[in-house]
Chain A
């Protein structure tokens, strides 16, 4: 399946990229980072226009994100849970909604590219939490343009090392997720110790 999608981007370029990233943004697990790296590599070989590639990737992802938001907002938690189940994920929507309320726009921005596996679930939770749509759209677009520009540029720079770069970025994503979790748990731990000392 993934091989066919990568082959489609190679053959059809930006239009294929647009369609595939839109589907992935709804929650279908697809190797989007690798697709963007491959697009970057193709740009460096003169086989794709950089502005078309960034535009298609950002617009497609944002379209899929809006669909996720709409499902969450008008379908409610039941529709969001059904969508999660469809892709084999059990989504803790309440926890995601808390994250949306706590992090706000910066959470939406970061989950577009740095913590992208959380992106589809944040879209649903933003809808169910009734996060204001214009603000969601603004942060979403900024995040998607940043993500597309970063990964396509990396692919362009390391154009002869697409697969190796993908491996490095996969590990880095998990390292960043671990670091954020460590900061959060560390903060909670210190707050708890302080409370215990006051008593």
Chain B
């Protein structure tokens, strides 16, 4: 019984890993509040300046390491609001499949 369970879990997790790996390049990377703006920009292949501009922030250094949560605290703005602005900016700057950016 233990042997069958072990084989079954191996098959299930290996196939899940395979499926996720195949979708890796197609899937959109989620935005999390611990991420810095350059980190998000890199994940979406955009210049960080586009995203900084979208949230109205001037970067402190060439690679501004502050997280979204940190920036939100500095600006005294809610984190979800900043994240929503970043998501809209990414959508606007990302070309739809086979087209130009909106």
Listed in ascending order, the chain A residues whose CB lies under 8 Å from chain B are 2-7, 10-11, 13, 38, 41-42, 44-47, 158-165, 167-169, 171-172, 174-175, 177-179, 181-182, 184-186, 189
List the B side residues contacting A185 at CB < 8 Å. 2-3, 6
Contacts of B63 in A (CB 8 A): 45-47
User: Is the CB–CB distance between A45 and B39 below 8 Å?
Assistant: yes
Chain B nearest CB, measured from A163 CB (Å)? 6
Q: Which residues of B contact A158 (CB under 8 A)?
A: 24
> Which listed residue, B7, B13, B32, B42, touches A45 by the CB 8 Å rule?
B42
Q: Are A10 and B34 in contact (CB under 8 A)?
A: yes
Q: Of the candidates A41, A162, A168, which one forms a contact with B20 in the assembled complex, judged by CB atoms under 8 Å apart?
A: A168
Whether B7 pairs with A182 at a CB distance below 8 angstroms is yes
Instruction: Tell me, in angstroms, the Cα distance from A7 to B69 when the chains sit together.
Output: 8
Contacts A3-B32, A7-B70, A168-B24; A161 near B13 (Cβ below 8 A): no
Distance A18 CA – B51 CA, assembled complex (angstroms): 30
> Which residues on B sit within 8 Å (CB–CB) of A6?
32, 34-35, 67
Q: Is A42's CB under 8 angstroms from B27's CB?
A: no
Give the chain A neighbours of B35 by CB distance below 8 A: 6, 10
List 19 interface pairs A-B (beta carbons < 8 Å), by A numbering: A3-B33, A4-B34, A6-B35, A7-B69, A11-B70, A41-B42, A45-B39, A47-B38, A159-B42, A161-B43, A168-B20, A168-B24, A171-B13, A172-B17, A175-B9, A175-B13, A175-B17, A178-B13, A182-B6
**B30 CB → nearest A CB, Å:** 6
Residue of B nearest to A5 (CB): B34
| Contact across chains for A175 and B14 when beta carbons are under 8 A apart | yes
For B30, the chain A residues whose CB sits under 8 A away are: 163
Chain A, Cβ-Cβ closest to B67: A7
Q: At the interface, yes or no: B21 with Cβ under 8 Å from chain A? A: yes
B29 within 8 A of A: yes
Q: Is the interface of A mostly helix, strand, loop or mixed?
A: helix
Provide the main secondary structure of the chain B interface.
helix
B77 close to chain A: CB less than 8 A: no
On chain A, the residues within 8 Å of B7 by CB distance are 178, 182
CB of A172 to closest CB in B, whole Å = 5
Most interface-central of A5, A41, A182 (chain B CB within 10 A) = A182
Please give, as numbers and ranges, the residues of chain B lying within 8 Å of A45 by CB-CB distance: 38-39, 42, 63
Give min CB distance, B64 to chain A, whole Å. 10
Contacts of A160 in B (CB 8 A): 29, 42-45
* Structural contact, A171 and B17, CB atoms closer than 8 A: yes
CA distance A160 to B43 in the complex (A): 4
Q: Which residues of A contact B16 (CB under 8 A)?
A: 171
A45 vs chain B, min Cβ distance (A): 5
Q: A3-B69, A11-B66, A164-B27 are in contact. Are A174 and B13 (CB under 8 A)?
A: yes
Inter-chain contact A186/B3, CB cutoff 8 Å: yes
